[in-house]
Amino acid sequence: MNGVHWPGLHIGLITFKIKEITFLELVPIVLGIHIWAEQLKSKKLLLHIDNLALVHVINKKSSKSKNVMVLLRALVLHTLRFNIQTVWIIGSSIVHWAQQYAENTNQLDLGLKQFAIIWKGKRGMVWENLSSVVARMSKSHIPPSILILHCGGNNIGDPQNTLKGIQKFMKRTLAQLGQDLPNTLIVWSHILPRGNWRKSLSNFEGEKAKKRINSAIATFVLNQLHGASIKYPDIQVSYKRLFRIDRVHLSDLGNSVLINTWKNAIVQFVTTSTRTYP
């Protein structure tokens, strides 16, 4: 690169024989980005790789090999440091169907080419599932720079817990996530309105509980975790075209509004110090 050659140095990491070709071919990539990071800052990098397994590993940022994961972590940490970022979107069926819509409309990257977007939507997910989902993802992926959480709606009206009990449990989980992911911006994605709160005594009670949880958790994330929050003023139950017939899940139009909101919020969080959207 511009007359710069590989330095004559000994790589202390490789002091034993490793026969994994994916690992061996990843070594020069990681070293190259480490050495020329300043020159590559805020630039797009095209890698010519003839090993399809390695291409898959780099694109997914995940591998079953512990040796490869060591290098992947080093690679992602450098790309994060020099303006390439990863976003996880985790949540219930709202995320699941948003991902399906994004895939069908070629928007899995949300139109943000400089970001790696990793989706994890679990149908029927409740807050109790969150810690295990994040733990599994952390074992196979690099920690994200931004973590969007859209979960908790399925807990509203749960007869096994009170509203205060749910909030307390959610805050405890979030506090632990903040400790486990110290370099991640945790984003509370507000629970969406519904026209049918199945577990609640009435839709009025469901909406009331939703508002109280959104307010309490957004305040906690912003003040205690120095995170961010996303609201959805354009998604209202009265806008019937935004919902499916069940009045819970979003239609294609509703999903379009949702992922566009996520896109704009991510851009705002990265480019400004404002931590509430909109």
Alpha-carbon gap, residue 249 to 276, rounded angstroms: 24
Confidence of residue 13 (pLDDT cuts 50, 70, 90): very low
Confidence of residue 137 (pLDDT cuts 50, 70, 90): very high
Average pLDDT, the chain: 88
Cis-peptide, bond into residue 159, ω within 30° of zero: no
Average pLDDT over residues 226-240: 97
Q: Which helix (H) or strand (E) holds 147?
A: strand 146-150
The CATH code of domain 85-277 reads 3.40.50.1110
How many CA atoms within 13 Å lie on the side-chain side of 55? 7
**pTM value?**
0.73
Confidence of residue 214 (pLDDT cuts 50, 70, 90): very high
The pLDDT score that the predictor gives to residue 1 is 47
The pLDDT score that the predictor gives to residue 11 is 44
Which residues, other chains included, contact 78 with Cβ-Cβ below 8 Å and sequence gap of 6+?
30, 33, 34, 37
Least confident of 14-28, 112-126, 193-207, 249-263: 14-28
Alpha-carbon gap, residue 190 to 192, rounded angstroms: 6
Alpha-carbon gap, residue 217 to 191, rounded angstroms: 10
Which residues, other chains included, contact 107 with Cβ-Cβ below 8 Å and sequence gap of 6+?
101, 259
Confidence of residue 7 (pLDDT cuts 50, 70, 90): very low
Looking at the chain, the domain(s) classified CATH 3.40.50.1110 span 85-277
Confidence of residue 87 (pLDDT cuts 50, 70, 90): very high
Per-residue pLDDT tens over the stretch 236-258: 999 999 999 999 999 999 999 99
Average pLDDT over residues 97-109: 96
Average pLDDT over residues 160-164: 91
